[in-house]
Amino acid sequence: MKNKPFLLVANWKMNPLTLKEADRIIKSLEKGIRAMNKKDFFQKIDLVVCPPSVFLGRLPNSSGFNWGIQNIHWETRGAFTGELSVKMAEDARCQYAIVGHSERRKFFGEKDQGVNQKILSVLGGNLNPILCIGETKEEREQNKTNDVVKNQIYQALQNVSALNLPRIAIAYEPVWAISNMSNPAIQSSNNTYLNTADSPDDVMGVTILIRKILSQMYRSDITKKTKILYGGSVSQRNIDGFLDTDILDGLLIGGASLSMFEFLPIIKSCYENRSK
Ligand code: 13P
């Protein structure tokens, strides 16, 4: 039996398109969890749903999972058209904020410095940050994964006190491994899979590296309390491989979290793994 709850985060991204549809997804999620009939479910699984912000505070939640916001601004208030502050997310019942997702970095020009400002702002409030890091396909092919991961963590955690480490989750999401759920695995020349989820072995290697980076930065035992997650094309087909590594504290799930056909078996596998 593992003592801390497994952090299972559903990132809906820019889906679904209507409140009605979002409501339908949440209701089938709740129904699925109820049907599992596990009294200790939420002691084992910290389930976090991150819907589009416009739906936050407007969806049912009778079962006890948590809410997260997909992006946040670093300023507390003011003339920042289109942005949302930490207080607003808290007011909409969020406990978590995703920071530095690769889609934010790629499509909206987010840089490490801004990611750091957001982390500091989230920690200044009552939200827990889920910091996303990960290399691109080109960086992976050039064997730069370790350097990229190290650099992103160093930059994102500038001026973050060790005392805050238990509140932080670091999600390793290789950019090339995102949104490939339905692709067949094609092995590239250097033996890595670049159009599917990452391999559990490689994820294990990066998880160990992240722990090492944290202990170099902080030289303190408290780094063990930072949660390390994997994200990128997790599905009911490959979930067991990730859980079997026994090294991850959670998962960040995109596409599969919108379909209860996919997500409920994933949730069940996580619960069973946590109950061993
Ligand atoms: P997919 O699970 O759709 O690959 O998305 C992963 C992700 O980006 C979660 O933040």
For each of the domains in the chain, give its residue range(s) and CATH number, in order of start: 6-274 (3.20.20.70)
**Alpha helices for the chain (secondary structure H):** 19-36, 41-44, 86-91, 102-108, 112-124, 137-141, 145-156, 200-218, 239-244, 260-275
C-beta pairs of 30-35 under 8 Å, 24+ apart in sequence: 30/60, 30/61, 30/62, 30/63, 32/260, 32/263, 32/264, 32/267, 33/63, 33/65, 33/267, 34/63
Answer yes or no: is the C-beta of 252 below 6 A from any ligand 1 atom.
yes
Is residue 272 part of the annotated active site? The answer reads no
Count of beta carbons in the 10 Å neighbourhood of residue 96: 24
pLDDT at 180: 84
**Residues 143-179, buried b or exposed e (16+ Cβ, 10 A)?**
eebeebbbebbebbbeebebebbebbbbbbbbbbbbe
Separation of CA 132 and ligand 1 centre (Å): 11
Is residue 173 part of the annotated active site? The answer reads yes
Residue 198 confidence class, pLDDT cut points 50, 70, 90: confident
Q: Could you report the per-residue pLDDT of 210-247, keeping only the tens digit for each?
A: 999 999 999 889 999 999 999 999 999 999 999 999 99
Examine the pLDDT at 256 and tell me if it is beyond 90.
yes
What's phi and psi for 131, nearest 5 deg? -85, 125
| pTM for the structure as a whole | 0.95
Catalytic residue among 103, 110, 173, 262: 173
Q: Could you report the per-residue pLDDT of 165-190, keeping only the tens digit for each?
A: 999 999 999 999 998 876 654 444 44
Q: Could you report the per-residue pLDDT of 13-56, keeping only the tens digit for each?
A: 999 999 999 999 999 999 999 999 999 999 999 999 999 999 99
Separation of CA 253 and ligand 1 centre (Å): 5
Answer yes or no: is the C-beta of 100 below 6 A from any ligand 1 atom.
no
Asked if residue 69 lies in contact with residue 92, where contact means CB atoms within 8 angstroms, the answer is yes
pLDDT at 191: 45
Task: Write the residue with the smallest CA distance to atom 7 of ligand 1.
Answer: 254
Chain CA centroid to CA 246, Å: 17
Separation of CA 220 and ligand 1 centre (Å): 31
Burial class (CB in 10 A: 0-12, 13-18, 19+), 101: buried
Q: What is the best residue among 12, 102, 137, 233 to mutate for testing ligand 1's pocket, by most ligand atoms within 8 Å of CB?
A: 233
Answer yes or no: is the C-beta of 134 below 6 A from any ligand 1 atom.
no
Asked if residue 108 lies in contact with residue 139, where contact means CB atoms within 8 angstroms, the answer is no
Q: What is the best residue among 173, 251, 259 to mutate for testing ligand 1's pocket, by most ligand atoms within 8 Å of CB?
A: 173
The residues, ordered by sequence, that sit 6+ positions from 137 with a Cβ below 8 Å of its Cβ are 175, 176, 194
Mean pLDDT, residues 63-91 taken together: 97
